[in-house]
């Protein structure tokens, strides 16, 4: 195992004279498969490229950005695991004080619009350099076409224009970043590599034309048209390339990278990781995120839930690709054999934990359907839900030496458990008995069918049914686990009456006073954000109520969690 170098002394110790690729990140350098910069860096290194990392560079001078020199092939820039604006501001635009991916925890190292700032930093101190700048990660991926930016309350051009970068690598970047490195190394054309976007002076023959940036800015229905076309062309099997005019130039978006195979995911996650913070950054303070991700395991990528407020379908894809059982077992065995391992795996899961090894055979062959979703408004008959493989995997993991408990901290779709008539109850019983501690967290997001419909989620009936089954199993096992609920206030279409109805339903039917309510944040490239900006339901074309006043958004939240109750709970914990 090894860390990728962060200083020239480390580069020289490896016997290297110059790096091929330098990756710059808004997160500190944690060498783990939960850090996109680390995983792409290790993947490139595995395939023979000399890679270095500069994490959270000082943006006021050249002390950090120049310390590894100039790369031979390209710069790769990421804002981090979270969009920098989401990391830096709350839903009501208040500055966040803490950052779990920064040493010491103080939010003082990640600039706003980190991708743009870091690109400009390179342009400033490497003037007239011919080395291309590639922007990647979730911040770039979700801003790759014309998008609504909540923090400036405006439509912005594709980020590659504002960042003055050369290329975007969007979605999961291992394949496109490697293919690009090989093309640049061999001096061969890279413009047709899947998963890349770039700026062109001309349209691209055979690609679909999106309404231009100027059209989107002047006409909200044109923006809806652009987003619908964009969304429908995110599946690798069915997608066509896209282009969008911005002024006198064009954004070119190649089709997405092909779906990964299970074997490819196994190879990626079998790479050696230090599972710690690089010593250069470790001396700066504790990194809170490491407490969770150090002993967590990713079982799959992708999500077909397609909640309208979530960008996973755009970034990771709507097709679930699972690692093999053997690969996951080997990783847990490695974790369990570490000298300081205390017996606890923090998470075994993915975007949605119980989608592991469950996918539609039709979709795997023909691509995602254009005329319906897998789970909304109800489960598609073509999707066969069976939790057997997950139960088998968890049973095998529990038997590994030194394992005391394995937690499932990733989200669980309770509607999928209800739809599994063969072993859904067995799976739920297993989770309650062995894989949660005291409480199980689920995310109904709301309880009122009107709002749930706009969120792309099933109505409240499944929630009530699941709650009853959960407590029936607890009684059967003689346990006292309980449910906690993640809820959203001020989603487009939601008003104060809906929050009052939510409060009543929670009290009457769920027998709880919710403690986990967040105000909706309009992040780029989601249908909910499209609703927020346009105040139009994009599926019906009808006008939609949208709460945009931050004080009234907070009031919606306060209906469910009065501020005085919140402060009482905080003081009690102290």
Span 547-557, pLDDT tens digits: 999 999 999 99
State mean pLDDT over 529-552.
98
- The band of 475, judged by pLDDT with boundaries at 50, 70 and 90, is very high
Span 277-323, pLDDT tens digits: 999 999 999 999 999 999 999 999 999 999 999 999 999 999 999 99
Q: Is the pLDDT of residue 567 over 60?
A: no
Same domain, 400 and 545: no
CATH number (domain holding residue 496): 3.30.750.200
Q: Decide which of 166, 196, 226 is a domain's last residue.
A: 196
Same domain, 467 and 415: no
Span 410-461, pLDDT tens digits: 999 999 999 999 999 999 999 999 999 899 999 999 999 999 999 999 999 9
- Is 307 within any annotated ligand binding site? yes
Same domain, 450 and 402: no
CA-wise closest residue to 43 among 378, 254, 222, 269: 269
Structure tokens given for 158: 């594709």
State mean pLDDT over 66-83.
98
Residue 97 lies in a domain: yes
State mean pLDDT over 208-233.
98
Structure tokens given for 40: 């792409």
For 433-463, letters b (16+ CB in 10 Å) and e give eebbeeebebbbbbbbeebbbbbbbbbbebb
Bridge partner list, 298: 349
Structure tokens given for 463: 């929630």
Q: Decide which of 129, 161, 196 is a domain's last residue.
A: 196
Q: Is the pLDDT of residue 198 over 90?
A: yes
**H or E, element range at 505:** helix 496-505
Residue 304 lies in a domain: yes
Same domain, 346 and 328: yes
Q: Which of 217-226, 238-247, 435-444 has the lowest mean pLDDT?
A: 435-444
Q: Is the pLDDT of residue 574 over 50?
A: no
CA-wise closest residue to 30 among 274, 267, 268: 274
User: For the whole model, what pTM was predicted?
Assistant: 0.95
SS3 77: strand
Domain count, the chain: 3
Span 165-192, pLDDT tens digits: 999 999 999 999 999 999 999 999 999 9
- Is 303 within any annotated ligand binding site? yes
Same domain, 449 and 422: no
Same domain, 422 and 478: no
CATH number (domain holding residue 84): 3.40.50.280
Same domain, 433 and 468: no
CATH number (domain holding residue 431): 3.30.750.210
456: Cα separation from own chain's centroid: 18
Span 343-397, pLDDT tens digits: 999 999 999 999 999 999 999 999 999 999 999 999 999 999 999 999 999 999 9
Residue 356 lies in a domain: yes
Same domain, 72 and 190: yes
Q: Decide which of 418, 437, 456 is a domain's last residue.
A: 437
Residue 283 lies in a domain: no
Residue 190 lies in a domain: yes
Same domain, 430 and 448: no
Same domain, 431 and 449: no
Q: What is the pLDDT of residue 563?
A: 74
Q: Going by C-beta distance under 8 Å and a sequence separation of 6 or more, which residues neighbour residue 312?
A: 302, 303, 305, 351
Contact 95, 88 (CB under 8 A): yes
Q: What is the pLDDT of residue 565?
A: 56
Q: Going by C-beta distance under 8 Å and a sequence separation of 6 or more, which residues neighbour residue 3?
A: 10, 29, 31, 274, 278, 279
Task: Note the helical H segments in 89-212.
Answer: 114-125, 137-141, 159-163, 174-186
Residue 359 lies in a domain: yes
Contact 417, 379 (CB under 8 A): no
Same domain, 430 and 442: no
Structure tokens given for 334: 């490695």
Q: What is the pLDDT of residue 568?
A: 53
Same domain, 341 and 445: no
- Tell whether omega for the bond before 503 is within 30 degrees of 0, i.e. cis: no
Residue 256 lies in a domain: no
Residue 280 lies in a domain: no
Structural domain of 335: 295-437
């Amino acid at each position: 195992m090894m860390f990728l170098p962060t200083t020239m002394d480390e580069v020289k110790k490896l016997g290297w004279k110059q790096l091929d690729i330098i990756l710059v990140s808004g997160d500190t350098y944690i060498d783990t498969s939960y850090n996109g910069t680390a995983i792409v860096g290790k993947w490139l290194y595995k395939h023979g490229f000399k890679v270095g990392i500069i994490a959270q560079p000082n943006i006021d001078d050249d002390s950090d950005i120049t310390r590894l020199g100039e790369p031979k092939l390209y710069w790769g820039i990421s804002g981090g695991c979270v969009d920098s604006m989401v990391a830096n501001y709350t839903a009501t635009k208040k500055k966040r004080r803490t950052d779990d991916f920064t040493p010491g925890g103080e939010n003082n190292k990640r600039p706003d619009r980190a991708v743009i700032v870091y690109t400009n930093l390179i342009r400033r101190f490497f003037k007239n350099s011919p080395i291309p700048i590639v922007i990647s990660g979730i911040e770039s991926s979700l801003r790759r076409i014309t998008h609504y930016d909540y923090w400036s309350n405006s439509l912005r051009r594709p980020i590659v224009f504002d960042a003055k970068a050369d290329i975007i690598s969007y979605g999961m970047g291992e394949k496109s970043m490697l293919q690009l490195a090989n093309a640049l190394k061999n001096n061969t054309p890279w413009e047709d590599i899947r998963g890349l976007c770039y700026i062109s002076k001309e349209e691209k023959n055979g690609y679909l034309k999106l309404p231009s940036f100027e059209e989107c800015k002047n006409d909200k229905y044109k923006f809806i048209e652009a987003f619908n076309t964009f969304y429908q062309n995110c599946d690798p099997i069915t997608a066509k390339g896209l282009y969008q005019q911005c002024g006198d130039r064009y954004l070119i978006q190649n089709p997405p990278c092909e779906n990964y195979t299970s074997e490819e995911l196994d190879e990626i996650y079998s790479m050696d990781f230090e599972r710690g913070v690089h010593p250069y950054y470790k001396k700066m303070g504790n990194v809170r995120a490491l407490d969770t991700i150090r002993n967590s395991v990713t079982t799959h990528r992708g999500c077909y839930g397609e909640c309208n407020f979530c960008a996973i379908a755009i970034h990771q894809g709507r097709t679930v690709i699972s690692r093999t059982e053997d690969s996951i077992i080997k990783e847990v065995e490695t974790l369990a054999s570490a000298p300081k391992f205390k017996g606890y795996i923090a998470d075994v899961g993915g975007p949605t934990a119980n989608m592991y090894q469950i996918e539609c055979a039709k979709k795997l062959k023909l691509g995602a359907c254009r005329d319906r979703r897998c789970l909304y408004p109800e489960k598609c008959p073509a999707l066969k839900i069976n939790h057997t493989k997950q139960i088998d995997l968890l049973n095998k993991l529990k038997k590994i030496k030194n394992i005391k408990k394995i937690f499932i901290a990733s989200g669980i779709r309770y509607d999928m458990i209800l739809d599994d008539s063969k072993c859904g109850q067995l799976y739920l019983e297993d989770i309650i008995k062995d894989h949660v501690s005291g409480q199980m967290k689920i995310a109904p997001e709301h309880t009122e069918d009107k709002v749930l419909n706009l969120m792309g989620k099933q109505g409240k009936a499944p929630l009530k049914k699941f709650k009853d089954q959960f407590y029936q199993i607890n009684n059967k096992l003689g346990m006292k686990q309980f449910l906690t609920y993640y809820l959203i206030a001020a989603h487009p279409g939601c008003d104060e009456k809906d929050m009052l109805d939510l409060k009543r339903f929670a009290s009457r039917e769920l027998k709880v006073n919710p403690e986990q309510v967040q105000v909706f944040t309009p992040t780029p490239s989601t249908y909910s954000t499209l609703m927020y900006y346009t105040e139009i339901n994009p599926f019906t074309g009808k006008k939609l109520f949208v709460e945009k006043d931050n004080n009234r958004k907070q009031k919606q939240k306060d209906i469910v969690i009065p501020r005085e109750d919140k402060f009482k709970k905080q003081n009690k914990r102290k």
